[in-house]
Amino acid sequence: MAENLALQVENLSIAFGGLKAVDNLTFDIKKKEIFGLIGPNGAGKTTVFNCITQFYKPDQGTLLFRGHGDEVTDLTTRPVHDIIRHGLVRTFQNVELIRELSIIDNVLIGGHIDYKTHTLSQALQLPKARAEEKRYRAEAEKILENLGILDRKDMLAGGQPYGILKKVEMARTLMARPKLIILDEPAAGLNDSETLELAKMIRKIRDTFDCAILLVEHDMRLVMDICDRICAINFGKLLTIGTPKEIQQNKAVQTAYLGVD
Ligand SMILES: Nc1ncnc2c1ncn2[C@@H]1O[C@H](COP(=O)(O)OP(=O)(O)OP(=O)(O)O)[C@@H](O)[C@H]1O
């Protein structure tokens, strides 16, 4: 795997019954790249990232990921719960936060995969556990500051505007110190100004937290605005990979996706 790559997908295929949902798909994502995956409804986008995160086990293909410490992992050999430990996280379309907890406590939940101390020492508040908790709290505060919502840290998650909840969810994701974040339709449910904010936030995350981003999104303005490169698929097959400009000018994409003939 080339040193500049975060993810390499080669000849990925998966079928459900007779239907080839992903058909011999090959693409790669560079370190710190914002990479878009687009295609019409049913094109196979969700299935692609379900294969990457090992929620589905692909029938065929190579999935190499460069995670923490630049270590390369063959994702197909890992169980689904192990993927996050390597530095690959995904967000969900619906924000899933605990309304009764404060914003910072919701963010701290994202750090739990990393806790080194035993649950018992945490419960007894032993010095090592207290030090660890302090370190995670400082890290959570730094992330909230970066996302511009540190002033809300002690407020309850319940009742916050949707745009803020999305930021809290992103903060929680960042606690896993990801090397690649898969964003599943992050603009769904956001208004125009929140979508603009989201674009700024995604760029800032890439720049500040040194990670690549795979964006699966229907909002073409957002995709064209922030992606370095875009992969267009239809019927599970690759149409083309290119810059936003190249994608907009591509005949196959116009026909398949934008509905232009
Ligand atoms: N678990 C499954 N079992 C059977 N068929 C499936 C399953 N998951 C996806 N499919 C089928 O695979 C194809 C690709 O679906 P997928 O959800 O990946 O598309 P998509 O591009 O994400 O669509 P959308 O934009 O509507 O979310 C579709 O025909 C879908 O019906």
Sign of dihedral through CA atoms 132, 135, 139, 141? positive
Per-residue pLDDT of the chain (261 residues; tens, 9 = 90+): 999 999 999 999 999 998 999 999 999 999 999 999 999 999 999 999 999 999 999 999 999 999 999 999 999 999 988 899 999 999 887 778 899 999 999 999 876 655 555 565 566 666 666 777 888 999 999 999 999 999 999 999 999 998 899 899 999 999 999 999 999 999 988 889 989 989 999 999 999 999 999 999 989 999 999 999 999 999 999 999 999 999 999 999 988 876 655
> Does the CB atom of residue 46 touch ligand 1 within 6 A?
yes
- Asked whether residue 93 is assigned to any structural domain, the reply reads no
What CA–CA distance (Å, rounded) separates 3 from 1? Answer: 6
Q: Report the length, in residues, of the chain.
A: 261
> Does the CB atom of residue 41 touch ligand 1 within 6 A?
yes
Residue finishing a domain among 141, 157, 175: 175
Confidence (pLDDT) at 96: 81
- Asked whether residue 221 is assigned to any structural domain, the reply reads yes
Residues 182 and 235 both lie in one domain: yes
Atom of ligand 1 minimally distant from the CA of 218:
25
The domain that contains 255 carries what CATH number? 3.40.50.300
Beta-strand pair 237-242/229-234: antiparallel
- Asked whether residue 94 is assigned to any structural domain, the reply reads no
Residues 11 and 79 both lie in one domain: yes
Residue finishing a domain among 175, 205, 237: 175
Structural domain span for residue 260: 1-87+178-261
Residues 199 and 259 both lie in one domain: yes
What CA–CA distance (Å, rounded) separates 110 from 127? Answer: 22
- Asked whether residue 143 is assigned to any structural domain, the reply reads yes
pTM of the predicted structure, to 2 decimals: 0.89
CA of 44 to the centre of ligand 1 (A): 5
CA of 95 to the centre of ligand 1 (A): 21
Tally of domains in the chain? 2
Residue finishing a domain among 116, 141, 175: 175
What CA–CA distance (Å, rounded) separates 261 from 259? Answer: 7
Residues 67 and 183 both lie in one domain: yes
Residues 10 and 55 both lie in one domain: yes
- Asked whether residue 6 is assigned to any structural domain, the reply reads yes
pLDDT in tens, 57-100: 999 999 999 999 999 999 999 998 889 999 999 988 777 889 99
Confidence (pLDDT) at 139: 94
CA distances from 108 to 35, 121, 152, 187, 214 (A): 28, 17, 14, 24, 24
Structure ipTM over 0.90, yes or no: yes
* Nearest by Cα to 147 from 132, 169, 176, 130: 169
